[in-house]
A and B are shown apart, each in its own frame.
Chain A
Amino acid sequence: MARMDVVSKQTAQKIERLAEQVMRAVKGGKNPFVEIPVRSLANVRFDPRKRIVQLGGQRQKRYFFNVAMAKKFMQTFLVSDACKELVESGKTTSIRDLYYITKHTIGETRQNTFEEQDESDPIIEDLEVALDALREELHLFASRKGSMVGPITIRDSGDTIDLRRMGSGGWAVPSIVEENVIEFVRHEARYVLLIEKDAVWTRFNEDKFWKRERCVILQGGGQPPRGVRRLVQRLHAELKLPVYVLVDNDPWGFYIYSVMKQGSINLAYESMRMAVPDARFVGLSSFDKDKFRLPANVAIKMDDGDVSRAKQMLGYPWFKEARWQREIQEMVRSGVKFELEALSRRGISFITEEYLPRKLKEKDWLE
């Protein structure tokens, strides 16, 4: 772990420099501040060449002597302090844990440093971008979700694991999947399949779809967490495996695909490490209802939120391609959405035995 020590040292130094800069400002009688790249839609742009969402150059200053910012300023340094301690002690903890570490009552008031975890999570993200340090480098991880099986052998923290022998539950994807934690030993996979839902993934695992098709299947329990996204990106980049994404036919499903492909607005600063611009959308397509003769009664009516969300997507630069426009417009036109489970109407293993094989055979996907 020698390399890790170098990174840790750097991270600790970054935090120290941030603190020293503030102390210098105060000594000089100035209003101290932390400069943070803006993580909002306004400061996010789509790089058409790299085909990923990237953070723009906008930065905001978080001053201490400003009523609106003082608390966040204070919180930023509480989190910095806690992270530095983690880094120096070589321990890793969850962001929820960090929330409890930093939470306490201020002075003799009823105010707490943090009232909710919702308050501390964005501060962590702020700190990541402000320090230009990844969450892993701060020794933090998000709550773990997601599982994976397939014809691949990995080494996880020194333990060699054959992902063909993971039983019904699969291998739980950890939050941190960097090279120093996860190594790919060998594999015979042809592609990676990312499935939105745990339940559908279970069907694929039970049917041994991965064995038959020689592929790696993952699920992220809805919007995949960083670990899953980073792992998919590594499988794609390091093992040159094509990535297919199987999600519900609704705006949320499209968005999951979009995040996998281009990166998210909130974590735009990590798009380079997370996004797979070549990821392919295999379904569920708005046109599949006709192609696979799904009965009308398995459709779910879209609500106003769904419709406006879909319309908003029509404007995303990465959905500007004609086939995507047709896809989304068809959804808006029909006013209905479908869950992956709707395919079970045609038979319990219809999705693994007919639907997906046919889609792949016909190259019926969107990019």
Chain B
Amino acid sequence: MARPAARQLELVPAEPPGRKPARLEVARPPRAGAPAPAGAGAGGAAAPAAPERAAAAPAPHAPRRRATAEQMAQRQREISISEFFTKNRHLLGFDNPSKALLTTIKEAVDNSLDACEEAGILPEITVEVRDLAWEKSQGNDLTKGEGRFVVVVEDNGPGIVKAQVPKIFGKLLYGSKFHRLKQSRGQQGIGISAAAMYGQLTTGQPIRVVSRTGKARPAHLFEIQIDTRKNDPVVTRDDEQREWHQEHGTRVELEIVANWQQGQKFVNRYVEHTALANPHATVHYLRPKQERLTFPRATDELPKEALEIKPHPHGVELGALMLMAAESRSHDVKGFLGSAFSRVSPAVADEILKAAAFKGRVRPRDLAEDRHLAESLHRAIQATKIMAPPTNCLSPIGDALMKKGLVSFLQVIESEGPEAEEEGQLDLDSAGKKRKSAKERRAEAAAPEVPDAPPEEGVEKIKGHNYFIATVTRPPRVYRGNPFQVEVGLAYGGSWPADKPIELFRFANRVPLLFQRGACGVTEAVVKTDWRNYLLSQPRGSLPVGPMALLVHVASVWVPFTSESKEAVAHYPEIIREIQLAAQECGRKLATHIRKRQHADYQAQRRSIFELYIEEVAQALGKITGKSPAPIKREFLRVAEQVTEAELEEKEAAEKASGNPRRRDEDE
């Protein structure tokens, strides 16, 4: 993986040969009045137009120039990052009003959870969506399609220092998480400010933030707008609030254009799944025209604190290596390696240097300047065996909590899932209820449940349905020098449809991934696993079919997403393999359960068959022998209970084996 990246970097110092003719063309004498192509990429746009012009003009004449370098220079200026994202909002998940609604909530909730965990506070988060038009015209229907909505996310986190609030919410690419290697939900420092910008762009309203850092201190209310040219916050309101119900925490309010009608299914699912993957958090969910929905926390234990680590040498790319060398304060390369990377002991550093075979004294500064030197060091690093990075920095959900999360998740969705009119695979709960067709109900009636089956390990009775729950947490592993850890949990049975593909819940660093399922490495791993070994049916190249939800969580200091909108995990073989191993482990537990259940079903069915026929046989025998059928029936029932089928089969097999086909019975 390091090689192609290195080649890419080469392009920076060396002039690509293909661009030279274009540049010469631009340098030719000017012609006044030529129309200039619009847009920032002027150099690129001029080139293709030139030959067209040449064909139109008489042959001996060179194409007419349209603009001089000086003229063009006047139009060349810095693009602010916020301007860029104004135009490219889809890159951050604001493609359309329904997705923007989800992304806005998601960015705010991610920040809240990260902050609470970092501060060591059990998170209690309120997510509220308000339909402004509906509130004004009380009693009417909710806004259909696009409309103005207010999104409120409030947490009980540590709060934000007054001086930082404007920058955090009013400046893109500002944050604490970009420069470190640590498992957290946010990574770039772009999300919430992008949401604020989206709101400003669509409604003109500033983001409203209330934050309080402690009981003794006042709460502050800010209204912040973004100067999209300068990428700087403009505070339009800054009030102190004496009274605020939270001792500490942050409340964010954004007015945005959204589509609740279409977007609510994403939000519902996001909230449900966030509660599932964060069993230590309480989540309140308030929606227009609906009852408040609360996912209570399943544990009072905070997840293990995720630790920050230094990068592992095997994961570093050449350009990054040069950059790190430039920033190093060490005097020699050995010191640089030891201080900048994890797992590089003096002995390992010596080994690397020996493999690099530098001539003379080389300082980190030299590495930053000389690409050849850096390259040989990079090669030496890759060739040296280095201990895997520390993995204790990760914070998985853990077996027990995953189970608790699944149970409380099922409890909530079983009782109050979203509206019944919703459709599609996103809504497992309502779909599950609907899909329970008359046919299934008939099947249930035909095969009555065993009334007093002993509770099996791993089976949870939730709202009258039995679910089998199994979880597996794999030991941490490393891809490209980044530690990661995979967890898989499954819930099987209950009221889920048996004839539909399973529900796959993907999580990365506890954040639910709702889109691009097909493009995700998690999906690939689950599809590649042969679930038929675990008694589920599975069409070729698809998810298995059965009444099951499968939860896959990938935790890492750096989760490799396929794109900036963080919707799918990249297909790293190491990650896919770990997911498969975890899925297989869970699958084995599932197969044991299914087998047990099949056996129990079979036993129950058998007993009912016998009980059915005993009546008939007893009547007939009674009539033939002239005796009362009641005692005969009792004898039969006694045998039916006493002698289990298994014992009988064993007995028969033993008798067959001994070549004595039940002579004894005949003699009696």
Q: When chains A and B are docked, how far (Å) is the Cα of A113 from the Cα of B617?
A: 11
Q: When chains A and B are docked, how far (Å) is the Cα of A74 from the Cα of B665?
A: 19
Of A15, A22, A109, which one neighbours B612 at CB under 8 angstroms? A109
Whether the Cβ atoms of B665 and A33 lie closer than 8 Å is yes
Residue in A closest to B613 when the chains form the complex, CB atoms: A74
List, in ascending order, chain B residues with CB within 8 A of A63's CB. Answer: 648
List, in ascending order, chain A residues with CB within 8 A of B662's CB. Answer: 33, 61
User: Does chain A have a CB within 8 A of B610?
Assistant: yes
Whether the Cβ atoms of A19 and B625 lie closer than 8 Å is yes
Closest-CB distance, B462 to chain A (whole angstroms): 32
Whether the Cβ atoms of B643 and A29 lie closer than 8 Å is yes
Task: Given A65-B643, A106-B615, answer yes or no on A81-B638 (Cβ-Cβ < 8 Å).
Answer: no
User: Does chain B have a CB within 8 A of A278?
Assistant: no
User: Does chain B have a CB within 8 A of A64?
Assistant: yes
Task: Given A23-B632, A26-B635, answer yes or no on A65-B620 (Cβ-Cβ < 8 Å).
Answer: no
Of A65, A74, A109, A111, which one neighbours B639 at CB under 8 angstroms? A65
User: Does chain A have a CB within 8 A of B624?
Assistant: yes
Whether the Cβ atoms of B643 and A22 lie closer than 8 Å is no
Q: When chains A and B are docked, how far (Å) is the Cα of A84 from the Cα of B661?
A: 29
Whether the Cβ atoms of B606 and A19 lie closer than 8 Å is no
List, in ascending order, chain B residues with CB within 8 A of A33's CB. Answer: 662, 665
User: Does chain B have a CB within 8 A of A101?
Assistant: no
User: Does chain A have a CB within 8 A of B609?
Assistant: yes
Whether the Cβ atoms of B639 and A81 lie closer than 8 Å is no
Q: When chains A and B are docked, how far (Å) is the Cα of A66 from the Cα of B645?
A: 7
Of A35, A80, A107, which one neighbours B615 at CB under 8 angstroms? A107
List, in ascending order, chain A residues with CB within 8 A of B635's CB. Answer: 23, 26-27
Closest-CB distance, B441 to chain A (whole angstroms): 16
Whether the Cβ atoms of B624 and A16 lie closer than 8 Å is yes
Whether the Cβ atoms of A71 and B665 lie closer than 8 Å is no
Closest-CB distance, B370 to chain A (whole angstroms): 81
Q: Tell me the B605-646 residues at the A interface (CB within 8 Å).
A: 605-606, 609-610, 612-613, 615-617, 619-621, 623-625, 632, 635-636, 638-640, 642-643, 645
Whether the Cβ atoms of B665 and A78 lie closer than 8 Å is no
Count contacts between A and B, CB distance < 8 Å: 91
Whether the Cβ atoms of A15 and B613 lie closer than 8 Å is no
Whether the Cβ atoms of A106 and B648 lie closer than 8 Å is no
List, in ascending order, chain B residues with CB within 8 A of A67's CB. Answer: 605-606, 609, 645
Of B615, B625, B639, which one neighbours A26 at CB under 8 angstroms? B639
User: Does chain B have a CB within 8 A of A186?
Assistant: no
User: Does chain B have a CB within 8 A of A31?
Assistant: yes
Of A35, A64, A109, which one neighbours B617 at CB under 8 angstroms? A64
Over the window 58-82 of chain A, the binary record of Cβ atoms lying under 8 Å from chain B Cβ atoms (1 yes, 0 no) is 0001011111001101100110110
Over the window 643-668 of chain B, the binary record of Cβ atoms lying under 8 Å from chain A Cβ atoms (1 yes, 0 no) is 10100100000000000011001101
Whether the Cβ atoms of B613 and A65 lie closer than 8 Å is no
Whether the Cβ atoms of B632 and A80 lie closer than 8 Å is no
List, in ascending order, chain B residues with CB within 8 A of A85's CB. Answer: 623
Closest-CB distance, A124 to chain B (whole angstroms): 15
Whether the Cβ atoms of A26 and B632 lie closer than 8 Å is yes
Whether the Cβ atoms of A20 and B625 lie closer than 8 Å is yes
Whether the Cβ atoms of A74 and B642 lie closer than 8 Å is no
List, in ascending order, chain B residues with CB within 8 A of A71's CB. Answer: 609, 613
Over the window 572-586 of chain B, the binary record of Cβ atoms lying under 8 Å from chain A Cβ atoms (1 yes, 0 no) is 000000000000000
User: Does chain B have a CB within 8 A of A24?
Assistant: yes
Whether the Cβ atoms of A70 and B625 lie closer than 8 Å is no
Closest-CB distance, B25 to chain A (whole angstroms): 82
Whether the Cβ atoms of B620 and A77 lie closer than 8 Å is yes
Q: When chains A and B are docked, how far (Å) is the Cα of A64 from the Cα of B618?
A: 12
Task: Given A74-B617, A111-B612, answer yes or no on A65-B640 (Cβ-Cβ < 8 Å).
Answer: yes
Q: Tell me the A84-124 residues at the B interface (CB within 8 Å).
A: 84-85, 106-107, 109, 111, 113
Interface of A is mostly: helix
Whether the Cβ atoms of A64 and B625 lie closer than 8 Å is no
User: Does chain B have a CB within 8 A of A9?
Assistant: no
Whether the Cβ atoms of B613 and A70 lie closer than 8 Å is yes
Q: When chains A and B are docked, how far (Å) is the Cα of A244 from the Cα of B624?
A: 45
User: Does chain B have a CB within 8 A of A25?
Assistant: yes
A interface bracket (residues with beta carbon within 8 Å of B) = 35 or more
Over the window 305-320 of chain B, the binary record of Cβ atoms lying under 8 Å from chain A Cβ atoms (1 yes, 0 no) is 0000000000000000
User: Does chain B have a CB within 8 A of A28?
Assistant: yes
List, in ascending order, chain B residues with CB within 8 A of A113's CB. Answer: 616
User: Does chain B have a CB within 8 A of A345?
Assistant: no
User: Does chain B have a CB within 8 A of A30?
Assistant: yes
Q: When chains A and B are docked, how far (Å) is the Cα of A61 from the Cα of B662?
A: 10
Residue in B closest to A85 when the chains form the complex, CB atoms: B623
Whether the Cβ atoms of B617 and A28 lie closer than 8 Å is no
List, in ascending order, chain A residues with CB within 8 A of B640's CB. Answer: 65
Whether the Cβ atoms of B636 and A19 lie closer than 8 Å is no
Task: Given A20-B625, A65-B640, A67-B606, answer yes or no on A31-B648 (Cβ-Cβ < 8 Å).
Answer: yes
Closest-CB distance, A15 to chain B (whole angstroms): 6
Of B605, B613, B642, B668, which one neighbours A25 at CB under 8 angstroms? B668
Whether the Cβ atoms of A19 and B612 lie closer than 8 Å is no
List, in ascending order, chain B residues with CB within 8 A of A80's CB. Answer: 620, 624
Q: When chains A and B are docked, how far (Å) is the Cα of A111 from the Cα of B640?
A: 21
Residue in B closest to A18 when the chains form the complex, CB atoms: B624
Task: Given A67-B609, A74-B616, A78-B616, answer yes or no on A16-B625 (Cβ-Cβ < 8 Å).
Answer: yes
Closest-CB distance, A72 to chain B (whole angstroms): 10
Q: When chains A and B are docked, how far (Å) is the Cα of A357 from the Cα of B639?
A: 69
List, in ascending order, chain A residues with CB within 8 A of B665's CB. Answer: 25, 30, 33
Residue in A closest to B616 when the chains form the complex, CB atoms: A74
Q: When chains A and B are docked, how far (Å) is the Cα of A289 from the Cα of B613?
A: 58
List, in ascending order, chain A residues with CB within 8 A of B661's CB. Answer: 61
Whether the Cβ atoms of B632 and A70 lie closer than 8 Å is no
Of B606, B616, B624, B638, which one neighbours A106 at CB under 8 angstroms? B616
Q: When chains A and B are docked, how far (Å) is the Cα of A26 from the Cα of B668?
A: 11
List, in ascending order, chain B residues with CB within 8 A of A16's CB. Answer: 624-625
List, in ascending order, chain B residues with CB within 8 A of A24's CB. Answer: 668
List, in ascending order, chain A residues with CB within 8 A of B609's CB. Answer: 67, 70-71
Q: When chains A and B are docked, how far (Å) is the Cα of A358 from the Cα of B613?
A: 62
Q: When chains A and B are docked, how far (Å) is the Cα of A19 from the Cα of B662?
A: 18
Q: When chains A and B are docked, how far (Å) is the Cα of A23 from the Cα of B648?
A: 18
Whether the Cβ atoms of B615 and A84 lie closer than 8 Å is no
Q: When chains A and B are docked, how far (Å) is the Cα of A23 from the Cα of B639?
A: 11
Q: Tell me the A15-52 residues at the B interface (CB within 8 Å).
A: 15-16, 18-20, 22-31, 33, 35
List, in ascending order, chain B residues with CB within 8 A of A111's CB. Answer: 612
- B residues lining the A interface (CB < 8 Å): 605-606, 609-610, 612-613, 615-617, 619-621, 623-625, 632, 635-636, 638-640, 642-643, 645, 648, 661-662, 665-666, 668
**6 pairs across A/B with beta carbons < 8 Å?**
A15-B624, A29-B642, A65-B645, A81-B620, A84-B624, A106-B613
Shortest 5 CB-CB distances between A and B: which pairs? A77-B620, A19-B624, A81-B620, A74-B613, A26-B635
9 more contacts with CB within 8 A, not counting A19-B620, A26-B632, are A19-B624, A22-B621, A29-B642, A33-B662, A65-B639, A65-B640, A65-B643, A67-B609, A80-B620
